[in-house]
Each structure stands twice: as structure tokens, then as C-alpha cells.
Amino acid sequence: MTRILRLAHSLWVWGVTFLLITSWLPAMALVRLFDRDPLVRRTSRFFRLLGRMIVHAQFPDLTVSGLENILPGQTYLVVSNHQSSIDVPLISFLPVDSKFLGKDVLFRLPLIGWMMRMSKDVPVSRKDTRSAARALMHCAKLLRAGCSVVVFPEGTRSLDGDLLPFSDPPFQVAIREGVPVLPVILDGTGAYLPRHAFLFGHRCPIHLRILPPVSVEGRNPKAAAELSEEVRSRMASNLASIRA
């Protein structure tokens, strides 16, 4: 794909995405107005539906597998790798009521930031340890209330698509709250829209693979690093199998 074609394709994708978001915002505000649930689950579901619509406009070669690993009604700490800014709408395909733990800068953005606030996703500042602690405490309350939480334990997007080291505190929260960890693998997004890029790359297969959940039963919160490494190892092996 030449640069001109890439530019035309990118402008089309961003244009469609912008139109979807701007048309969705007032409807989502109306849903939020009548959503009396303290966890605003209906609003969150409506927001995730937008994510799926954005994905359908961008990824004709998306493959989703492992949905059978999700038990209906079960609360999870959902752990995903992170290659691109388009990973978040892909996670919307998971059939679970959930909140995202995301960078606070996203919540300050017009439109999409307003939607994240309406959905009651959880902001966190990587530069402020107190903010991180408060965010994890809030995540614990959500898990306790029966709402899953989605985290990217690498903390940032991978430049080469390989897994970065995982942060241990989210796994400690999962152990303390007694909820299983649901590993999710994304691949192809980093090649399609690299970090800090505006232009989309060549069309390539995009994979969303949901792995079997990892139980935390009988684990000690002090062994969060061990759980983190176990989950990361499973994800790394599955990532390699997708690429093979």
C-alpha cells in the first residue's frame, strides 16, 4: 500500500470513527440519564457497543477465539497485552460487564473522555503513586460488586509487539478479592496502527484470543509476582502460537 493509499485509508477510518463517536455521544448521555444502577452497567454496555461498531469499520480480518472460556455471570480481572491505541475497542467483544483501568489523560480528551467518565471507567496516573493506589482500591470495590475490570499490565504499548514486563499490583488485587484472572491476547494491532502513528499500515490479520481463566484460589497476595509471571508466560506462548 503506497503512502497516498495509506493516507486515504487512514482519513476514511478516522472520519468514520469520528462520526460514530459524535453521533453516539448524545444517545449515550440519554442512556446514562436513566441508568440508575450504581455501576451504570447499561451505560457501559452501550459504550462497548460503540467499540464493536468502530472495530467493524476498521478490521475486516478480525478473528475472535476462546469465547467459550468466559463463564456467564463470572467476575474477572481481565488482563490484556497492549500493542496499539485500537486495542481498547477490540476488548469490547468480551461478553462481560467491565470497567477499564486507563491513563488519566484519556479521561481529559473531548468526546471519548466524556464517554469514559459516563461509563465510570477508572482513571490512573502512572506518575502518581497515590493515584495508582486509589485506582487499585476502586478496582477492588468493582470486583467485589461483581463488575469485571480490564487492565493492561504492561503499562504502555509495546513497540515491537512482544510482551513487556507485567506490573504485579493488579494481580494482588485479584488474589485478595478472590476473582480469577482472564488472559486476553491481541495481535496484529501494532502492525496495523503502530504506537504514536496516525497512518494505518498494511491490512493484516487481527487476532483476539481469550485464554482459559487462571484461578487464584489458595494463593497468597504476597505471591502476586508469581501469578503475574504465570499469566505472562501463558500469554507469551499463545502469542507465539498465533504468529506461527
Of the ranges 151-155, 185-189, 193-197, 217-221, which one carries the lowest mean pLDDT score?
A: 193-197
- CATH number assigned to the domain comprising residue 10: 3.40.1130.10
The whole-number pLDDT of residue 189 equals: 85
Q: What is the pLDDT of residues 38-92, one digit of tens each?
A: 999 999 999 999 999 988 877 667 889 999 999 999 999 999 999 888 888 999 9
Q: What is the pLDDT of residues 195-239, one digit of tens each?
A: 777 888 777 788 999 999 999 999 998 889 999 999 999 999 999
> What would the 3-class secondary structure string for the chain be?
CCHHHHHHHHHHHHHHHHHHHHHHHHHHHHHHHCCCCCCCHHHHHHHHHHHHHHHHHHCCCEEEECHHHCCCCCCCEEEECCCCCCHHHHHCCCCCCEEEEEEHHHHCCCCHHHHHHHCCCEEECCCCHHHHHHHHHHHHHHHHCCCEEEECCCCCCCCCCCCCCCCCHHHHHHHHHCCCEEEEEEECHHHHCCCCCCCCCCCCCEEEEECCCECCCCCCHHHHHHHHHHHHHHHHHHHHHHHC
The whole-number pLDDT of residue 60 equals: 62
Q: How confident is the model at residue 1 (pLDDT cuts 50, 70, 90)?
A: low
Q: How confident is the model at residue 243 (pLDDT cuts 50, 70, 90)?
A: confident
The whole-number pLDDT of residue 27 equals: 97
Geometric angle at alpha carbon 185, from 179 and 190, rounded to 5°: 135
Domain count, the chain: 1
Whether the pLDDT of residue 111 is over 90: the answer is yes
The boundaries of the domain holding residue 160 are 3-243
Q: What is the pLDDT of residues 118-149, one digit of tens each?
A: 999 999 987 778 888 999 999 999 999 999 99
Question: Is the C-alpha dihedral spanning 218, 221, 226, 227 positive or negative?
Answer: positive
Average pLDDT estimate for 156-182: 90
